[in-house]
Amino acid sequence: MKQTILTFITQVNPDRVSELRTLLDVMGSNVEQNPYIPYLDLKLLHFSSLVLTDDDVYGAYLVFENNFDGELDQYLDDLYAHAAEGLHLIYSCCLDYPAGSATEKTQLLSYLRAHIVHPNAYHIGNVGRSAVRTQQEDALRDGFEDFLDEVVAQGDVGPASSIRKKVQTLVRSQPAFAWAANVEPRQTPLEYAVPRLKFAIAAVMALLLSPILIPLAIVWIVMLRWTETHEPAPPELDVKEHIKELVKREDRTHIVQNHMCSITTVKPGLFRRATLCGVLWLINLLARTFFDKGELSGIPSIHFAHWSMIDNGRRLLFVSNFDGSWENYLDDFIDKAAFGLTAVWTNTSGFPKTSWLVGEGARDGSRFKAYARASMTYTNVWYSAYTQSTVQTIDNNSRIREDLFRTLDVTAARDWVRRF
């Protein structure tokens, strides 16, 4: 099953910025019941956010983030069917919006289509699992847990194999659970193979072109090192006030996830822009192949994250939907992925001093965090379709269902029971 990640980025009419902000804040204060976009009806949606940023140079932008199941056309139809009126009100505040009323479907949707930004790189934590399936599997697990409590209470646990039998019988006997017995696999063989094929082709091409690529790489390294040693030191940032604003919406009660949206300015000059573009391309290649099992370079807590170069490559948009606190997320980044994240953000202004693209940089923990905080924008509206689930619990729930009717040997059956 395919998942799609994209943003609609539009410029906001300068005269209507505050009107739009008010509207978004109303939405954000009660996301699930907001009168503009009935998120709960959008069954394809995993996470979505609306961010209004106002920049001295670039003006006001509205970033509408969508992480959904399936293809764009179907999603847009669904969005229109449920939220035409709300979308119309929101986009009426944006520049060049053509529709005169919410009934003008073609105008509305073609406006959205014209403003799609596909990410340069993205990561998905639970590949191939739809939002609906995630919710179903969560409910299934809850049902199993309650059932197992009864098994324990009756004092009749028995070995793993007999526990499994009991659960299998339960599923067969309960119509509410019947769906669990036959569900499509996460990915078709083709969906699995294509990214790997692309990776192989890239590797072969790199090998074939190595006579050209190696000298180019040497030139690039020299330029990189020269740039790094001649750039001014990044300024010390005072982010206390900014953080005070940001945290107002963070760590909400009853949600185990958080959202972060960061916009940074790419360092001037083609060199940094090209380097960033290359780094993101490489990350995307790896994210499709090696990092498609729940972890991005060892970070186990990212549901959907994406990087997009916007404004002709002059700015970098990063959006992430992650588990746990921001502090924990950033620590994970620093401890496990300093290499990659330094390679990305060293190309943007204000990032801590870096050597050889991947050295130092983010390892300067508190400077890096200050930089990251400074780059963040306030998330006006944020929706999660499964507020209580982490990447890990979603994966665990999937495996519980997937392995329920599989023939398992003694060890595997034991491990299955340990998933509870």
Partner 1 sequence: MAELKAEDMQDIQGFVISGYAHLPCVSYLLLGISDPPSARGWLARLVNEVTTSEGKELISCLNVALTHRGLRRMGLDEETLDTFSRPFVEGMATQHRSRILGDGTENGPTNWDWGGNLTSEPAKPDETKAVDILLLLFGRDETTLDKLVNEHRARLAQCGLTLVLPLGAGRQPDIHEHFGFADGMGQPAIEGTIQTRDAAPRNVIKTGEILLGYVNDYGKLADSPTLRADLDPQDVLHDQPPVDPTEQARPSGASPPVMRDLGRNGTYLVFRQLAQHVAKFCHYLDEATRTLDEELDSTASDRLAAKFVGRWQNGAPLVLSPDTDDPALSKEDDFGYRDSDAHGFKCPIGSHVRRSNPRDSIGPDAAKALATANRHRILRRGRSYGVRPEDRRVDDGVPRGLHFLCLNADIERQFEFVQQTWINNPVFGGLDGEVDPLVGNLTKGDEIFTVQADPLRTRVHNLERFVTVKGGAYFFLPSLRALRYLASL
Q: Which residues bind partner 1 (CB under 8 A)?
A: 141, 145, 148-149, 151-152, 155, 157, 159-160, 163, 232-233, 240, 243-244, 247-248, 250-254, 256, 298, 323-325, 327-328, 331, 335-336, 363-366, 388-390, 392-393, 396, 414, 417-418, 420
CB of 363 to partner 1, least distance (A): 7
Nearer to partner 1, 15 or 146 (CB): 146
Nearer to partner 1, 22 or 325 (CB): 325
Q: List Cα–Cα distances, 229 to 73, 216, 224, 357, 393, in angstroms.
A: 48, 20, 9, 11, 45
Are β-strands 359-360 and 121-124 bridged in parallel, bridged antiparallel, or unpaired?
unpaired
DSSP 8-state assignment for residue 387: T
Nearer to partner 1, 257 or 308 (CB): 257
The long-range contacts involving 240-243, CB below 8 angstroms and separated by at least 24 positions, are 242/373, 242/374, 242/376, 243/373
Give residue for tokens 């620093």: 334
Nearer to partner 1, 189 or 244 (CB): 244
The DSSP secondary structure of 212-234, one letter per residue, reads HHHHHHHHHHHHHHHHHHHSPPP
Nearer to partner 1, 63 or 337 (CB): 337
Asked if residues 261 and 379 have their Cβ atoms less than 8 Å apart, the reply is yes
- Rounded CA gap, 266 and 277, in Å? 11
Give the full edge-to-edge strand order of the sheet including 257-265. 121-124, 302-310, 315-323, 257-265, 376-377
CB of 223 to partner 1, least distance (A): 19
Q: List Cα–Cα distances, 105 to 98, 99, 412, in angstroms.
A: 11, 8, 52
CB of 309 to partner 1, least distance (A): 29
CB of 302 to partner 1, least distance (A): 14
C-alpha closest to that of 343 among 278, 264, 263, 271: 278
C-alpha closest to that of 40 among 83, 96, 91: 83
- Angle at CA of residue 86, ends 81 and 88, nearest 5°: 90
CB of 323 to partner 1, least distance (A): 7
CB of 184 to partner 1, least distance (A): 25
**Identity at 269, one-letter amino acid code:** G
Nearer to partner 1, 243 or 374 (CB): 243
Nearer to partner 1, 64 or 291 (CB): 291
**CB-based contacts of 275: which residues, under 8 Å, 6+ apart?**
220, 224, 347, 357
CB of 367 to partner 1, least distance (A): 8
Terminal Cα distance for the chain, rounded: 26
CB of 57 to partner 1, least distance (A): 25
Nearer to partner 1, 121 or 163 (CB): 163
CB of 183 to partner 1, least distance (A): 21
**CB-based contacts of 298: which residues, under 8 Å, 6+ apart?**
332, 336, 337
Nearer to partner 1, 70 or 365 (CB): 365
